[in-house]
With several copies, the nearest count.
Chain A
């Protein structure tokens, strides 16, 4: 069951105990993204420091466990890395999610985010998983403007 299950313990853990949740100051950019098909929403802020280091990712939102856990995992992966490093992870995560279950995830790049691999088989859920990650990408771009 574990192999098949989309509900890896890790996802439930993040859903029940979201990391880094809440909107914090200071921030360079804030974005608000909505998934119109299911009503999931997220507001997300980023603060980037010297040498492109991501100092904080703070967020607030509502939605299913997948979308909420994805934001929590994102927070953990992003803070402390450089923008460049995190964008590489975002790209790999996007590739995995849009791969319709056909793609072998690169665990070295993805870390905990690999737990979402099962989601890729359900097109309707892919957007849930990507919501916060797309918001993050958007916010990073704006923070550099």
Chain B
């Protein structure tokens, strides 16, 4: 089904997990990359080699190992800046995951020690998110309004799983809008450039949770028109323990520091400190060194395969999956059921069978790994009146054969619970 130029079998050979068998000889059918992706040898080997032969702390060390580690770490920053089209490498901040990146920005608002008017926040000020957000793009803002007395507002979601975008929700009172670029449940790709324009029109800032888009599409932060973009290494064939905040340099300079400590300072006295220039201002303590280096290798890997090719491959898989799932009686897709403005994440409910049971039987009998539950998007599920869904999500290493396995598995599930 996929084009000749995209050799998925060759790609699968790069991922050692596909050479293993699950207990009792089940094969592994991994359809849970929206949760976290598998890792290619290129990433694993880069990390292993660095840990074994070149490891040391970065920045502060003045010896061969220190230089090698610092080089590798800062080169990773260059690679990631290039990957998302950041105008400057200094705009790439390494965090531990996307959640930290989102919290970092949330904590920049309403800090009494910072007087930049874009970041002051109090009663009367508003924050706008949406009902389809991941908890990591909801809870940081809830905590912020609890600390400051600001108001949280949100866009709804339409019945077919689109952002119910009402420009009027963004007003002169709005300080920041933060929405997903692509939903981790619905697969929906949001009209972020339009929302960004509206936010800027009223003088608000805009943050994009790109955790589900950067791994799967060519993304250029400048084209998106955003002020802040968060994404996470483990979903893009990179390691755990590393995430990224990209933000416009001018904003990073205006924001108060978030975590304090070594590396983020210029000079420290007992009673006051001055801070390092960006990006280091936001990287307190020893950073996830080997993890950043691993993410650099991940970005090299994705670039070599080609983000356009990956996007096209996932599109093929998504079309195939939507077709096949539509044929299953009692199955209802939650989210857009066309390919328009959507990525390779397909969530669904099956009449009369709890998703927990669906997922567990798929795993137990067929080795098919999907995610079941609310996928850290409980409000979205409440919106659709269901406690949970089953979600299949695709990546560069998946095949149409694996979607066939999913479909066979679902038929079996229906038989078990008939």
Contact = CB atoms under 8 A, between A and B. Distances in A.
A121 B267 contact: no
B356 A121 contact: no
B356 A5 contact: no
Contacts of A63: 354
B71 interface: yes
Interface string A63-100: 11110000000000000000000000000000000001
B70 A121 contact: yes
A36 B66 contact: no
Nearest to A41: B387
Interface string A1-34: 1011111000010000000000000000000000
B1 interface: no
A122 B416 contact: no
B240 interface: no
B274 A124 contact: no
User: Which applies to chain B's interface (DSSP): helix, strand, loop or mixed?
Assistant: helix
B34 to A, nearest CB: 16
B267 A101 contact: no
Chain B CB within 10 Å, residue with most, of A3, A66, A100, A123: A123
Contacts, number: 72
B74 interface: yes
Contacts of B26: 1
Interface stretch (B251-259, B333-341, B357-365): B357-365
Contacts of A124: 59-62, 356, 373
Contact of B356 (A3, A66, A100): A66
B387 A101 contact: no
A4 B23 contact: yes
A100 B373 contact: no
Given A100-B74, A122-B66, A123-B59, A5 B373 contact: no
B388 interface: yes
A53 interface: no
Interface string B65-104: 0110011001100000000000000000000000000000
Contact of A38 (B274, B356, B416): B356
Given A37-B374, A38-B374, A12 B71 contact: no
Contact of A64 (B70, B74, B75, B354): B354
A4 B24 contact: yes
Nearest to B381: A39
A5 B67 contact: no
A112 interface: no
Given A36-B266, A64-B357, A123-B59, 11 more contacts: A1-B24, A1-B364, A1-B365, A5-B365, A7-B360, A7-B364, A36-B267, A39-B388, A102-B75, A121-B71, A123-B70
Top 4 nearest A-B pairs (CB, nearest first) are A39-B387, A36-B267, A64-B354, A64-B356
17 contacts: A1-B365, A7-B360, A36-B266, A36-B267, A36-B274, A38-B356, A38-B388, A39-B387, A39-B388, A63-B354, A65-B417, A100-B71, A101-B67, A123-B70, A124-B356, A125-B356, A128-B356
Interface of A: 1, 3-7, 12, 36-40, 63-66, 100-102, 121-125, 128
